[in-house]
Structure 1
Amino acid sequence: MSIRAVIFDMDGVLIDTERHLFDCWQQAAAEAGYDLTKEQLLGIRSLAAEFAIPHFRELMGERFDYQEIRRRRKELMSAYIETHGIDKKPCVDELLDYLQSHGYKTAVATATDPERAEKYLRSIGIYEKFDRVVCATTVPHGKPMPDVYLYACEQIGEQPSDCMAIEDSDNGALSAHRAGCHVVMVPDLAGPMPETEEYLTGVASDLSQVIPVLEEMK
């Protein structure tokens, strides 16, 4: 079994934004009269709107206006980033340099729209290190469906079975698994659920620890 390409999620894997997204979700919901807990928010990481809307309505009631609260969350997050910038996750450059020097193809598969994804990746100086940046907004269904990973594999000209996906969330990991990729989880806010652990190739404490997994798979 050999890996020819590595595909990365963005938020929580390459950029340190997940905890700030949680804060913004909670503020936006509170402004609308709802109390969202961190435990509830863990369940929507990387979850596409088509799945998040019924999920939230089941939790919070039919009157929960997901689109408006999400619009406000994005507004709050943009303001935070304008003030504080974006932090790169630890060991990003170490892993990307390893992949480049060993001939792996690389891609990003993110739920973020193309304009913001490029802006964020350029702001931490790594946009040019990827062969492709693919966004779930350009495919029929977002995570946890496999569309974005299948499209990323198509864009870099590799079969999913020859690709490794790096994810920090259960929904993202499920998306990559459904596409047929090998999945390594690098937990950010929470580790994998038991049902996720069953199909993971590995769990790494940080991105540098993905390198030994790749070495073992040569």
Structure 2
Amino acid sequence: MDGVLIDTEKYLTRFWRQAAAEAGLLLSLEECYAFRSFAGKYAAPWFAEKYGEQYDYWTIRERRKELMQEHIRVHGIEKKDGVEEVLQVLSQEGYQTAVVTATDETRARQYLRDIGILELFDAVICANMVERGKPFPDVYLYACEKIQKEPQDCVAVEDSPNGIRAAYGAGCHVVMVPDLTQPDEESQNRIERKAASIRDIPGVVREISRGKLQYGR
């Protein structure tokens, strides 16, 4: 969702830096990129090991959420260009669509409702619905179960390494639409296509459906 459907990753990154700075920890943009789609359950011990126990991940995260909520209250949610049209095309061509996000269900549904696209999805799958969030594959496996499709028959559209890792681990075809960063070496080895924008997704999905991109694992 964040970075693919809605243009929020840039603000998540900004407010991670601000919240951390308030706690006395200076983070670079590149360091903040690592938090994208990183389930808190796993991010917290990683954060403590990397930066030290004196910087509490959960406290900083809650402050980041406060800052983000205030920004959204004032400015609203920015929808990625072309999202609604892409979803309508996929629906018209008979494809099912599901949101698979690290955001909790309440906020995810509210964000999607606010920009008028919630009803365009067959399912909304969130990290708090499964035992392990991204980068583990559980959320994608559960999404496939909910729409009653095998992973190898599904295309995952992602923008972050943690999301790509989760989708690849589930056995989905993985397409990256870069948002804040281009694919790193690990991600490059896990994606089947890099799309310039979400507007390219229907064409990529058609190619995969026709077997031009082969499921290779």
> Could you say which residue in structure 2 is the equivalent of 1:192?
183
Task: Select 2:123's aligned residue among 132, 137, 140.
Answer: 132
> Could you say which residue in structure 1 is the equivalent of 2:14?
23
Task: Select 2:97's aligned residue among 106, 116, 122.
Answer: 106
Q: Over residues 116-140 of structure 1, what are the superposed CA-to-partner deviations in whole Å (9 max), with x where a residue is unaligned? A: 1110001110000000001011100
Aligned residues: 209
* One-letter code aligned to 1:12: G
> Could you say which residue in structure 2 is the equivalent of 1:116?
107
- The CA distance in 2 between the partners of 1:86 and 1:22, in whole Å, is 15
Task: Select 1:69's aligned residue among 43, 53, 60.
Answer: 60
Percentage of identical aligned residues:
54
Q: Does 1:173 align with 2:171?
A: no
> Could you say which residue in structure 1 is the equivalent of 2:31?
40
TM-score, length of structure 1 as denominator length: 0.94
Q: Secondary structure at the match of 1:90?
A: coil
**Moved segments of 4+, more than 4 Å:** none
**What is the CA distance between 1:54 and its match in structure 2?**
2.2
Unaligned stretches of 5+ residues in structure 1: 1-9
- With CA pairs under 8 Å and 6+ residues apart, which has the higher RCO, 1 or 2? 1
- The CA distance in 1 between the partners of 2:81 and 2:50, in whole Å, is 34
* One-letter code aligned to 2:77: I
Q: Secondary structure at the match of 2:116?
A: coil
- The CA distance in 1 between the partners of 2:207 and 2:143, in whole Å, is 24
* One-letter code aligned to 2:59: E
Task: Select 2:5's aligned residue among 14, 17, 21.
Answer: 14
Task: Select 2:42's aligned residue among 36, 41, 51.
Answer: 51
Q: Secondary structure at the match of 2:97?
A: strand
Task: Select 2:202's aligned residue among 211, 215, 218.
Answer: 211
- The CA distance in 2 between the partners of 1:192 and 1:51, in whole Å, is 22
- The CA distance in 1 between the partners of 2:14 and 2:33, in whole Å, is 12
- The CA distance in 2 between the partners of 1:210 and 1:178, in whole Å, is 21
Q: Over residues 120-161 of structure 1, what are the superposed CA-to-partner deviations in whole Å (9 max), with x where a residue is unaligned? A: 001110000000001011100010000100001101111101
Q: Secondary structure at the match of 2:100?
A: strand
> Could you say which residue in structure 2 is the equivalent of 1:5?
none
> Could you say which residue in structure 1 is the equivalent of 2:134?
143
- The CA distance in 2 between the partners of 1:64 and 1:79, in whole Å, is 23
CA-based RMSD = 0.9
Q: Over residues 1-40 of structure 1, what are the superposed CA-to-partner deviations in whole Å (9 max), with x where a residue is unaligned? A: xxxxxxxxx0000000000011111111111111011110
> Could you say which residue in structure 2 is the equivalent of 1:7?
none
> Could you say which residue in structure 1 is the equivalent of 2:174?
183
Q: Over residues 64-84 of structure 1, what are the superposed CA-to-partner deviations in whole Å (9 max), with x where a residue is unaligned? A: 100111011101100000000
* One-letter code aligned to 2:178: P
Q: Secondary structure at the match of 1:134?
A: strand
TM-score, length of structure 2 as denominator length: 0.94
- The CA distance in 2 between the partners of 1:213 and 1:109, in whole Å, is 19
- The CA distance in 1 between the partners of 2:30 and 2:12, in whole Å, is 14
